[in-house]
Amino acid sequence: MATIRPFAALRPRPDRAARICEPPYDVMSEAEARRMAAGNPLSFLRVSRPEVGLPLGTDPHSPAAYAQARRAFEALLADGSLYRQAQPAFYLYRQILGSHHQTGIVAASSCAEYLAGVIRKHELTRPDKELDRVHHIEAVEAQTGPAFLFHRAVPALAAFAREIEARTPDVDFVAPDGVRHTAWTLAEPDSIGFVEAQFAAIPRLYIADGHHRSAAAARVFEARQGAGGSGGFLSVIFPHDALQILPYHRVVKDLNGLSPARLRDRLAAIGEVAGDGSGHPPRPHEFDLYLEGHWQRWRVGAALTAVADPAERLDVALLQRHVLAPLFGIENPRTSERLGFVGGIRGPGELERLVDAGEAACAFALHPTGIEELMAIADAGGIMPPKSTWFEPKLRDALFCLPL
């Protein structure tokens, strides 16, 4: 069963939400964060990326940075930009990007269930990145960015969400990236009881995005032995059939001594040419190669896809095992400086730009990983290859904060 709890959130004033709420801390560089926060004293990047309020060159993991995060957070509370919900509640959070929309429940998910495996992971985490979020949580005494979770869709929850969405929202704004963010409060005892009962019948939850946030919250929970609000971690939980996974493409800086013609010959030995490409492979086990100003589609041979491990059947794994390692000499995609990743809505146009500008020698566009593939790997206790999924749209930080 999945145990989720209502909580009294720290929330932005509706008339200031568009200026306060920002993308997740880890989807931008420091330079990008500084540009986004410039001229906006309410920007939550001053909390989530506190180095933007400190001199250039400041270590973002230093005590000075975490102290700056606390000062910025307290300033938003002091002037009423952030306020505390009067009573514990669940919340409904809807995002709209173009024709896509997704609506999830905002709740405190169980750290104990995360540690017990009821909440399934599919990525490895880095201790240094976990520790950064632990220090951030401890500095501000709150979790300020939600983990992105999902569950197998439940018709009754979907119907309930549609009913709530017909109400007047608490917060409704369009962010600079074009994503519309809308939220409702579910404080009525009947609503809280219904949501808790529905989730109690869901056998497991899955992490889509936010593995380091979840792991950090669990570390704080263990250190504090569940005291205060540390037993839960801030989550937005969506039905699996509402989510949009975009491809995570690869760019390679050099051809490892191969000529373009020789590279194509080597590729022909592991698959077959499926015609001209477009940067949008239409089905799994196909990839588009951009080389010398031209897209060409390749289909991986059936013998290479007949493996038992679901993680090894992913297109990103097949490309790594049969192309990037043997042909380009890229043995570790996590650490190689010759391999780059382009995910999300930037798409094939960014791949073409990088290659045409000489910043990369070639690029591989992949079909997106499927949500069922992700669940199968997580259920088997497996780990997905790095940069396998890009969920879009991203959750907005500061729309809800979980105080400890």
Residue 314 is predicted with a pLDDT of 95
Domain that residue 132 falls in: 4-245+392-403
Distance separating alpha carbons of residues 57 and 44, to the nearest angstrom? 20
Residue 286 is predicted with a pLDDT of 95
Per the domain annotation, does 374 fall within a domain? no
Residue 229 is predicted with a pLDDT of 87
Same domain, 280 and 226: no
Per the domain annotation, does 270 fall within a domain? yes
How many domains does one find in the chain? Answer: 2
Same domain, 240 and 254: no
Question: Which one, of 86, 84, 104, lies nearest residue 94 by Cα?
Answer: 104
Same domain, 230 and 320: no
Token readout for 160 is: 């309930």
Per the domain annotation, does 376 fall within a domain? no
Same domain, 180 and 232: yes
User: Which residue in the block uniquely carries the two structure tokens 């309410």?
Assistant: 42
Per the domain annotation, does 217 fall within a domain? yes
Distance separating alpha carbons of residues 218 and 226, to the nearest angstrom? 9
Token readout for 314 is: 């992913």
Token readout for 320 is: 């790594």
Residue 306 is predicted with a pLDDT of 87
Same domain, 135 and 225: yes
Token readout for 360 is: 């990369």
Token readout for 237 is: 């939980």
Number of H helices, E strands in the chain: 15, 21
Per the domain annotation, does 212 fall within a domain? yes
Same domain, 285 and 160: no
Distance separating alpha carbons of residues 168 and 400, to the nearest angstrom? 18
Q: Are strands 147-151 and 205-209 parallel, antiparallel or unpaired?
A: antiparallel
Residue 346 is predicted with a pLDDT of 85
CA distances 341 to 333, 336, 365, Å, are 10, 11, 10
Same domain, 360 and 261: yes
Same domain, 158 and 212: yes
Per the domain annotation, does 41 fall within a domain? yes
Same domain, 34 and 69: yes
Counting Cα atoms < 13 Å in the Cβ hemisphere of 211 gives 17
Q: What does the DSSP 8-state code read for residue 89?
A: B
Q: What does the DSSP 8-state code read for residue 367?
A: P
Per the domain annotation, does 382 fall within a domain? no
Q: pLDDT averaged over consecutive 10-residue blocks of the chain (404 residues)? A: 95 98 93 96 98 95 97 98 97 97 98 96 92 97 97 98 98 96 98 98 96 96 92 97 96 97 93 92 96 95 88 94 96 94 90 97 97 94 91 96 96
Same domain, 263 and 230: no
Same domain, 146 and 193: yes
Residue 267 is predicted with a pLDDT of 94
Per the domain annotation, does 373 fall within a domain? no
φ, ψ (nearest 5 deg) of residue 156: -65, -40
Residue 344 is predicted with a pLDDT of 81
Residue 271 is predicted with a pLDDT of 87
Same domain, 198 and 276: no
DSSP assignment string, 180-239: EEEEEEE-SHHHHHHHHHHHHT---EEEEE-HHHHHHHHHHHHHHTT-TTTTEEEEEEEE
